[in-house]
Amino acid sequence: MKTILFTIVSGVFFSFLVGKVMAQGAERPNVILIMTDDQGFGDFGFTGNHLVHTPHLDQLKEESTYFDQFYVSPVCAPTRASLMTGRYSLRTGIRDTYNGGAIMATEEITLPEMLKQGGYQTGIFGKWHLGDNYPSRPVDQGFDESVIHLSGGMGQVGDVTTYFKGDRSYFDPVLWHNGRKEAYQGYCSDIFASEAIDFMENSLKSGQEPFFCYLSFNAPHTPLQVPDKYYQKYKDIDPTAGFDSGKGEFPEMTEEDKEAARKVYAMVENIDDNLGKVFDKLRDWGIEENTIVIFMTDNGPQHYRYLSGMRGKKATVYRGGVRTPFLMRYPAKYSGNTTVSTSGVHMDVMPTLAELCGVPLPADKTIDGKSLVPLINGDAVDWADRPLFFYWTRRYPELYQNMAVQQGEFKLVGHADYDASWKDFELFEIGTDQGEFNNVTLENPAKAKLLKGAMDSIYQELIQSPHLLHQPPIVIGSAAENPSILNRNDAGGDRGIWSQEDIYGKWYVNAQPGTYTMKFRFLNPVPEGGQMTLEVGPRVFRMENPSKGEWIVMDNVTLEEMEGDFIPFYSHNGKRIFPFWVEVENNTLSE
């Protein structure tokens, strides 16, 4: 009897709290920003894929304003930097997905930092990929609650708590909760959705609405791991069946591509089921009307599969790499079931939410995005003159390599030498050539020259960005994060550094003064009889290694305050072995 009475009273009290918060927060909507990872434009029922089952997203599309010409960057971290700041990623210090180029400068004003001006509680669940150490972690960049994996993906070299789990890295993972390791049970997408639901519910119960929830799934990014009950639904399908393969509009799929598609579609259906749970909760809580729900993806697919007739995939500047569906549902203001065909871009999300949530944009930053509100309102807006710049090469932007500018109905694509002329580019009239198959450069020399000039201008401006010229450092030895783990995702040095052993690598750090313990973890046991060397700015520390093992420990390493390269390596028989990660602890802080 006491249990029943408590349940009834608790339910009434919770309803009272929801009603009270809704009355207070009616002018400031809740916001749920959903992003999936490597889900291509064609991986949805509502974009014409009859093989994948996405009923909740298909329904969301019917209830939303749908931008069918929406664009992002060709790869993960640049898209996320632009989403969080409203700026081209190069302005923020983000220039790569690893190689030390996925660390966003702490001086950036992020979307959650902006929304906190309006009293928002902020949470992120899933993938961050903008810096794994202080001061670039989510907890340093405006998020009150954070449950994330490290680096660009679970099971990748930078995610030190899941890498060694191999083909089980998406199951029962150790994640990072508010900057600290914590073990979780279950499949990663289920965990992130569940944690997001708990965060929103706790915000309501505590009377701290409105909330901003960034639900950033790492799926369907590789490694392609999914619960078997989902895989069984797709294991026997032919991913090419029932699609028009004429005019070169359907990519040729290898057997590897086909098996990847089966796993991706299974992962996508799992995400859709989790989103169904989120949407059900909004209705149960009575806050669906006053909650903005945004759905998008971060770039095109990693493997070839159905892409709605577009050319390219992830990492390319063709539309298959940079076009994503963009859905926004806000029942309190918009009826939904409308389509906007004016181009939007990831940088527009921040100014859009600033307007809808009634908070000011950062006054001292160049905001490259525009508010989409006039387009959603159906106002007459001419954005045909807005050039959109896309690029992707490893390490730093390479002039005219995998680089594009889109303006109005035309798009110029470069895969050319640094001193190329306009004739060396591809020009597409995307209004009539959605797949980008017909190069019309020679027929439109004036347009090609105009867009090449725009490309040159934007590139020259962005390449001078202070955060690009001066890499954001990792701060070690700070009370905000001690110990710090320096991982391979954020290591610079040789181009393309990943899991190699005999390779030159380093981290760029700001060291706080103190006496440190340095623990070097190697991918494989290193032999005895070699020398461990650590260079930190002008200081060099060297020691003999008496035994074989995966770990080498240096105690009593004294550092002054400095900023520079942190270079560790183990020398043995002419090889210089770079550690897989380094745990850095300032012992002075605990004295």
What pLDDT score does 2 carry? 33
What pLDDT score does 384 carry? 73
User: What sign for the dihedral angle of Cα 512, 517, 520, 521?
Assistant: negative
Q: Are 139 and 176 in contact (CB under 8 A)?
A: no
Q: Which two tokens stand for residue 279?
A: 């949407």
What pLDDT score does 96 carry? 96
**Same domain, yes or no: 162 and 303:** yes
Q: Are 333 and 26 in contact (CB under 8 A)?
A: no
Instruction: Tell me, yes or no, whether 4 lies in a domain.
Output: no
Edge-to-edge strands of the sheet including 410-415? 388-391, 401-407, 410-415, 426-429
**Same domain, yes or no: 372 and 514:** no
Instruction: Tell me, yes or no, whether 564 lies in a domain.
Output: yes
Q: Are 468 and 127 in contact (CB under 8 A)?
A: no
Q: Which of the listed residues 427, 451, 468 is the one where a domain comes to its end?
A: 468
- Structural domain tally of the chain? 3
Q: For the residues of 136-198, what is the DSSP string, one character each? A: SSGGGTT-SEEEE--SSSTTSTT-TTTGGGGGGTTBS-EEEETTEEEE--SBHHHHHHHHHHH
Instruction: Tell me, yes or no, whether 80 lies in a domain.
Output: yes
**Same domain, yes or no: 142 and 42:** yes
**Same domain, yes or no: 405 and 456:** yes
**Same domain, yes or no: 43 and 123:** yes
27-60 tens-digit pLDDT? 799 999 999 999 999 999 999 999 999 999 999 9
Q: Which two tokens stand for residue 93?
A: 């210090």
Longest dimension (CA), the chain: 82
Q: Give the domain CATH number at 496.
A: 2.60.120.260
Q: Which two tokens stand for residue 271?
A: 């995400």
Q: Which domain holds residue 263?
A: 30-376
Written as tens digits, the pLDDT of the chain (591 aa) is: 333 333 333 344 344 444 444 333 457 999 999 999 999 999 999 999 999 999 999 999 999 999 999 999 999 999 999 999 999 999 999 999 999 999 999 999 999 999 999 999 999 999 999 999 999 999 999 999 999 999 999 999 999 999 999 999 999 999 999 999 999 999 999 999 999 999 999 999 998 889 999 999 999 999 999 999 999 999 999 999 998 876 667 888 999 999 999 999 999 999 999 999 999 999 999 999 999 999 999 999 999 999 999 999 999 999 999 999 999 999 999 999 999 999 999 999 999 999 999 999 999 999 999 999 999 999 978 887 899 999 999 999 999 999 999 999 999 999 999 999 999 999 999 989 999 999 999 999 999 999 999 999 999 999 999 999 999 999 999 999 999 999 999 999 999 899 999 999 999 999 999 999 999 999 999 999 999 999 999 999 999 998 999 999 999 999 999 999 999 999 999 999 999 999 999 999 986
Q: Which two tokens stand for residue 337?
A: 């079931």
Q: Rounded CA gap, 75 and 394, in Å?
A: 11
What pLDDT score does 383 carry? 81
**Same domain, yes or no: 259 and 305:** yes
Instruction: Tell me, yes or no, whether 19 lies in a domain.
Output: no
Q: Are 211 and 120 in contact (CB under 8 A)?
A: yes
Strand 531-536 and strand 174-177: the pairing is unpaired
Please return the burial class of 559, using the count of CB atoms within 10 Å of its CB with bins 0-12, 13-18 and 19+.
buried
**Same domain, yes or no: 520 and 435:** no
**Same domain, yes or no: 414 and 528:** no
Q: How far is CA 27 from CA 65, 118, 289, in A?
A: 20, 10, 12
In 3D space, the residue among 552, 551, 484 whose CA is nearest the CA of residue 512 turns out to be 484
Dihedral angle computed from the Cα positions of residues 143, 148, 152 and 157, in that order, rounded to the nearest 10 degrees: 130
**Same domain, yes or no: 196 and 106:** yes
Dihedral angle computed from the Cα positions of residues 514, 520, 526 and 529, in that order, rounded to the nearest 10 degrees: 0
Q: Are 116 and 122 in contact (CB under 8 A)?
A: yes
**Same domain, yes or no: 367 and 396:** no
Beta bridge pairs of residue 339: 66
Please return the burial class of 360, using the count of CB atoms within 10 Å of its CB with bins 0-12, 13-18 and 19+.
exposed
Instruction: Tell me, yes or no, whether 16 lies in a domain.
Output: no
User: What sign for the dihedral angle of Cα 226, 229, 231, 234?
Assistant: negative
Instruction: Tell me, yes or no, whether 2 lies in a domain.
Output: no
320-369 tens-digit pLDDT? 999 999 999 999 999 999 999 999 999 999 999 999 999 999 999 999 99
Instruction: Tell me, yes or no, whether 418 lies in a domain.
Output: yes
Backbone torsions φ then ψ of 257, nearest 5 degrees: -60, -40
Q: Which of the listed residues 420, 448, 468 is the one where a domain comes to its end?
A: 468
Please return the burial class of 30, using the count of CB atoms within 10 Å of its CB with bins 0-12, 13-18 and 19+.
buried
Q: Give the domain CATH number at 194.
A: 3.40.720.10
**Same domain, yes or no: 178 and 220:** yes
Instruction: Tell me, yes or no, whether 242 lies in a domain.
Output: yes
Q: Which of the listed residues 376, 402, 420 is the one where a domain comes to its end?
A: 376
Q: What predicted TM-score, i.e. pTM, was given to this entire model?
A: 0.94
Q: Give the domain CATH number at 442.
A: 3.30.1120.10
**Same domain, yes or no: 38 and 167:** yes
